Amino acid sequence: MSEMNLAQSSLSLALWINLKREVIVAVRHKGELANPLMFFLMVVVFIPLGISPEPKVLAPLAPGLIWVIALLATLLSLDGLFRSDYEDGSLEQMLMSPQPLAIFVVTKILAHWLMTGVPLTLIAPALGLMLYLPAEGYGAMLLSLFIGTGSLSMIGAIGAALTVSLRKGGLVLSLIVMPLYVPVLIFGASAVTSAVGGDKIGLEIAILLAMFLTAMLLAPFAAAGALKIGTDA
């Protein structure tokens, strides 16, 4: 029992140290951190100019538009998820480390979600105002984005791992992960639409949670295996 506790303590410590490192690195690269947020903001600003500034036109479209833009903003930041570690040799060290590679992957996913998904969720209400999202939809939007962006980060990590050794893997990455993003997009936008219409959102949120938990169980190991394949380890 003591050996098991020691192993669990060691894994927890490794997880915490790696997560702390990833967050510090992300904060130091403020430009890369701001790119998804700026993309999210700019697209929402330009939508009324390109479609119509009329509230009656934008309000029905707001749930889907916000979710599509959040998905694309998340996708924008995925290409560099493992690339910097691959280029500076850190990934090779991780592959040879006695610690499970999945621990490293989990910390990368958590850091990506904390630095991308959570900020996107937090600024979404302000952007919802710009698209005249009805007041009934804000709670569902925050909850669905909070859960859904976590799934997007985990699913995206698999594609980022598969394309880590490709110099211009952004297009390939998009082709890999976009079909897998579709269910998250459908149920995330549907939850907001249902809330706006006065319907219950329990089913949509339950499905989003199920997808999140499934991704949480499978994605780290799938991404770890993909990293080994992508680096020919």
pLDDT at 3 over 50: no
The pLDDT tens digits for 172-230 are 888 889 999 999 999 999 999 999 998 999 999 999 999 999 999 999 999 988 888 86
Q: Which among 158, 156, 152, 129 has a CA at the least distance from the CA of 66?
A: 129
Question: Hey, what are 66's tokens?
Answer: 């916000």
Domain count, the chain: 1
Q: Which residues of 96-125 are buried (b: 16+ CB within 10 A; e: fewer)?
A: eeeeebbbbbbbbbbbbbbbbbebbbeebb
pLDDT at 57 over 80: yes
Residue ranges making up the domain that contains 135: 2-230
Q: Would you state the pLDDT for residue 97?
A: 73
The confidence band for 87, taking pLDDT boundaries of 50, 70 and 90, is confident
